[in-house]
Structure 1
Amino acid sequence: MNRKKTTFIIVALIVLLGGSAGLSYLFILLKPESPKKPPVELKRYVKTEVVEYSTIVSPLAAKGRVVSSHEVALIAEAAGKIEEGSVVLKKGTSFKKGQLLAVIYKDEVELALKARKSEFLNTIANLLPDINVDYPDYISEFTQFFREIDINKDLPDLPSYENDQFKVFLASRNLLSAYYGILQDEKKLKRHSLYAPFNGAFTNVSYQAGSYANTGSQVARMIRTDQLEIEVPVKNINSKWIKIGDKVQVFSENEVSVMEGTVVRKAKFIDINTQSRSVFVLVSDFNEDELVVGGYKKVVFSGQEIEQAMEIPRNAIFNFNEAFIVKDGMLKKTQLEVLKLNENSLIFRGIPEGYNVVVEPLINAKENTPVSILGSDEEQPENKQKDKDLNHQSKTK
């Protein structure tokens, strides 16, 4: 009895719950749908400028590294022990043009040269009587030549002669071979003394005084310090606006003082790593404490006149040479010709005058996006001729 009662209660609950669910679903279906609100269109404003071309003079500022106009290696042209000259052979030592930098032991070579000159004097002394008898026209010249010879100095010039018989006479007595042999030894002796070719300083010293150097050894490296250049890397697109001979301004580290320089060279190649072209600026008059090799300086090139051009912010351009214009209230892509790149701007031409070019970076902007010009209720009207010009330009590109 209790079992039948329990079953009846369960069935009744199921029927009641099912009926309630069915009625709820029916009421939902009968409820009228509420009208949907139309999506709110957000108006996008962009900043533009009307394309108008003019002549622009755009200076170019860039940083460059100070380098020496001459950087050479001091090479030993003879073998021997290195002795000090008139300057200390150490890194950082400064010297003047013509100063003796170092000496490679030369006593033996010097004594051997003096011995050869003494033999040469003896040869001439034995020839003078024969010259006086057989070739009297040359006796005065060769006597004077004999008197001018000093074993501590370079040989004087050999007297000139045109007589072929006299030439044979001198050659047969070995006077000519002895003379030119001594000249050769004098050249060898000079190789033992190393003189400064310019005003400069040592940047590296490999052999100090007391060391032994072989022929061809690099004793030191040195730079010229009274004639400095600034190597300025410039993007190749901008290098065409820099001409050899242009005057430039070189600023000190605090940009208080200004030095004047001149463009003297432009590299005929592009650096493979930086894709830039080196421009060399010579600075003649400078303060030694402000312009030092290895330092970086700001260089401002005056720039050339660029005709029929316009300047806009660099970040308004994408894909290197594309920009947005506003046409019929929508964004349109267009290509332009980039003439010069500055740090924050660029100079271009190629868009017909009168169009509104976007001069700010746009995020998530696509072509045909509806926009309005900032500061204007509606886009400025454009005539059909401008549209034809732009369409023709796009097809050409």
Structure 2
Amino acid sequence: MDKRKLYISVAGIAILIIGVMLSRLLSSTGSEDIEKEKAETVNRFVVRTKEVHQETIKSKIEITGRLIASEQVDLFAEVSGVSTYGVRPFKTGNTFSKGEVMLKIDKGEFIRSLASIKSQFSSLLAQVLPDLKLDYPDDYAAWKDYLLNYDIDKNIAALPEVKNEQLKFFLTGRSIYSNYYSILESEERLSKYVIRAPFTGSLTETFIDQGTLVRTGQQLGEFIKNGTFEIEASIAYDQLSYLEKGKKVQFTDVKGSDTHEGTLIRINNKIDPTTQLVKVYFQLNDQRLRSGLYLNGHIESTTFEHATILPIESLVDQTFVLVAQNGKAIKKKIEVHNQNVNDFIAVGLKDGEKVIIDKKNSAFEGTEVIEM
């Protein structure tokens, strides 16, 4: 009986040991398979690709810019006084023809002051005439006629010509010339009380209203020329050979519905050292346009044979792309042309090659890939 129990106990222990060993063996085998699958999965990447189809491509120089008025002036007050409107209200959007009165500043006080100065000058001339008659009889008649025709309500006339140096010294000593030029200066200042349109255009900003007390140096508004605009754009230095002054370019607005012809009028001689871009300027004459509008245009440049257009994300180290070949990423050298923000023209690929268009670097070469 004791032997039987012993046999049963030994058999049970043996079965238990065999079970544990089998369990560990199975667990080990399954873990190795899982790790192997994980290793295979980790080393393979899903990528987006674009199949190459070579063609003849006419490259274009893209031009984008914002319209600015070709002539624009900031209006400032050079005198002080209360403002009044000219031929029409001094309001944003109003148009004035060249020479029209845009704004007037009350000049009553200044006119009275100028009349007083002119009257004093008339008295000064009358005082020197007796001396001229005695000492300079040859010049007396000219100065007498000048005084007889002198009118304080009109702009002062030029003084009689003096060739005698002694007479010049005499007149200078009597302050004739200093008073004359003082009146000229005041008459010039009087013209500042009336602000006229320097060219045909419109007000884009105004900072005063009817009856505003204007102070010297105060900004009154902004005035731009109508119908004539410029576009400032930047192009690569190596594209300058396709441009020359007078070249015509067709521009479209953001909607692409209207076309406007522009003419290249200036090319900056300075290159931006950071971007290696050059600023160019086009002039557009069109009454439909408005300052601040963005326009797009292009200039046809070089024709490339056996080329394809690729997104900029596919470019690696400026002159390479990664091609999906036999399940691996292969680095391939190409010719890069007309690179811009979104894409570029690639030469040196073959039809049917699949270029990886995800953003990658050189370290991705040799990696196993799965095409999306």
Same fold, TM exceeding 0.5?
yes
Q: 1:369 to 1:237 in 2, by over 3 A?
A: farther
Amino acid in the other structure paired with 1:314: L
Shift of 1:109: 0.8
What are the within-5 Å matches in structure 2 for residues 1-397 of structure 1? 7=5, 10-11=8-9, 14=12, 17=15, 47-48=51-52, 58-128=59-129, 130-234=131-235, 241-252=242-253, 254-266=255-267, 268=270, 270=272, 278-284=279-285, 286=286, 288=287, 290-300=288-298, 302-305=299-302, 311-315=307-311, 316-323=314-321, 333-335=331-333, 338-341=336-339, 345-347=343-345, 356=350, 360-361=355-356, 367=365
Instruction: Give unmatched runs, 5+ long, in structure 2.
Output: 27-39, 41-48
1:311–1:346: 8 Å Cα contact kept in structure 2?
no
Partner Cα separation in structure 2 for residue 5 and residue 144 of structure 1: 164
1:60–1:342: 8 Å Cα contact kept in structure 2?
no
Partner Cα separation in structure 1 for residue 333 and residue 196 of structure 2: 61
2:72–2:223: 8 Å Cα contact kept in structure 1?
yes
Q: 1:317 to 1:243 in 2, by over 3 A?
A: farther
Amino acid in the other structure paired with 1:106: K
Partner Cα separation in structure 2 for residue 129 and residue 339 of structure 1: 89
Partner Cα separation in structure 1 for residue 258 and residue 17 of structure 2: 96
- Quote the residue 1:380 is aligned against: none
- Farther off after superposition, 331-340 or 68-77: 331-340
Shift of 1:332: 5.5
Amino acid in the other structure paired with 1:312: T
- Name the SS of the counterpart of 2:249 in structure 1: strand
- Name the SS of the counterpart of 1:58 in structure 2: strand
Shift of 1:324: 5.2
1:103–1:194: 8 Å Cα contact kept in structure 2?
yes
Report 1 or 2 for greater relative contact order, CA contacts < 8 Å, sequence distance ≥ 6.
2
Q: 1:20 to 1:215 in 2, by over 3 A?
A: closer
1:311–1:345: 8 Å Cα contact kept in structure 2?
no
Partner Cα separation in structure 1 for residue 346 and residue 247 of structure 2: 23
Aligned length: 341
Amino acid in the other structure paired with 1:299: G
Shift of 1:145: 3.4
Shift of 1:126: 4.2
Shift of 1:224: 2.5
Q: Judging by fraction of residues, say which structure has more strand.
A: 2
What are the superposed Cα offsets for residues 183-215 of structure 1, whole Å, 9 maximum, x if unpaired? 121122222222222222222222222222222
Shift of 1:292: 0.6
What are the superposed Cα offsets for residues 27-86 of structure 1, whole Å, 9 maximum, x if unpaired? x9xxxxxxxxxx9xxxxx984578x9x9x8633234321111233321111222222222
- Farther off after superposition, 238-247 or 145-154: 238-247
Partner Cα separation in structure 1 for residue 354 and residue 281 of structure 2: 34
1:148–1:156: 8 Å Cα contact kept in structure 2?
no
Partner Cα separation in structure 2 for residue 58 and residue 89 of structure 1: 49
Instruction: Give unmatched runs, 5+ long, in structure 1.
Output: 29-38, 40-44, 372-397
TM-score between both structures, scaled by the size of structure 2: 0.71
